Amino acid sequence: MTEARPTGKLRVMLVDDHALIRAAVRQAISGPDLELVGEAASAEEALELALQVRPDVILLDVDLPGMSGVQLVRELAPRLPETRIVMLTVSTSERDLVEAVRYGAVGYLTKDLSPEALSAGVRSAYQGDLAMSPRLAARLVRGLVAAGKHAPVDPDAPGLTSLSEREKEVLRRLADGLTDREIASALGISLRTVESHVSSVLHKLGVRNRAQAAGRYRDLG
């Protein structure tokens, strides 16, 4: 499925290897303010398509052939920082839930929800809310707390000296809460250049998402 012409609607991409699921989701999110602009049946296909389509929201299954959905979140989140990634799955595994959110997902929805609830979840995720049920949110908190208690301290974690001066400027503004577009405007560079710098910063600092990068800056800056 190719990218749709801009219409002012919320642009959604779907990644699921089951054709019936894709058909059902396609019908569920065909509201007046939503449109499906891309579909992929594998993580590898989705990785290429998402960078072309650059959707507002990605609905992503956990269980995919080859690279898993959770691994795909880890690859896509730093490259598409303005895209909201929401898991849409039958899995209620606490490990999948915690890892997906730690890598950058902003929602975790199960496939037994109604079409209305799915559309509401898409809108909620785009607006910056945590798109998941209260039950899953409680499990997420427990999982993150448990993971934090057992996370080892890495004495060799890289510091800010590994960053170029431009990357430090980007990170400084990221830590101030600026969006990529605002950073681009402030530094007089293109949005794509900012996204490239953000991806490089995450890699050099050994962190998974923008929030962790900002925290590292505040700790070491």
Instruction: Write the secondary structure of the chain as one string of H (helix), E (strand) and C (coil).
Output: CCCCCCCCCEEEEEECCCHHHHHHHHHHCCCCCEEEEEEECCHHHHHHHHHHHCCCEEEECCCCCCCCHHHHHHHHCCCCCCCEEEEEECCCCHHHHHHHHHHCCCEEEECCCCHHHHHHHHHHHHCCCCEECHHHHHHHHHHHHHHHHHCCCCCCCCCHHHCCHHHHHHHHHHHCCCCHHHHHHHHCCCHHHHHHHHHHHHHHHCCCCHHHHHHHHHHHC
CA distance 218 to 207: 14
CA distance 197 to 211: 15
- The pLDDT value recorded for residue 157 is 46
* Among the listed residues 46, 32, 37, 54, the one whose alpha carbon sits nearest the alpha carbon of residue 1: 37
How many of the other CB atoms lie within 10 Å of CB of 106? 22
Radius of gyration of the chain (CA): 18
Q: Could you tell me the fold of the domain covering 10-148?
A: Rossmann fold (3.40.50)
Strand-strand pairing, 131-132 and 84-89? unpaired
Task: Identify whether the C-beta of residue 70 lies closer than 8 Å to the C-beta of residue 46.
Answer: no
- The pLDDT value recorded for residue 16 is 95
Domain ranges of the chain: 10-148, 160-220
Listing from the earlier edge strand, what are the strands of the sheet with 34-40? 34-40, 10-15, 57-60, 84-89, 107-110, 131-132
Per-residue pLDDT of the chain (221 residues; tens, 9 = 90+): 434 445 578 999 999 999 999 999 998 887 788 999 999 999 999 999 999 999 999 999 999 988 889 889 988 888 888 899 999 988 777 788 888 888 889 999 988 889 999 999 999 999 888 888 777 777 777 766 665 544 444 444 456 788 888 999 999 888 888 888 889 999 999 888 888 888 888 888 877 777 778 877 877 75
Residue 84 β-bridge partners: 57
- The pLDDT value recorded for residue 23 is 93
Residue 107 β-bridge partners: 86, 131
> What is the CATH number assigned to the segment(s) 160-220?
1.10.10.10
- Taking each helix axis as running N to C, give the angle between helix 165-175 and helix 210-220, from 0 to 180 degrees, rounded to the nearest 10: 100
Give residues with Cβ within 8 angstroms of 191, minimum separation 6: 180, 181, 184
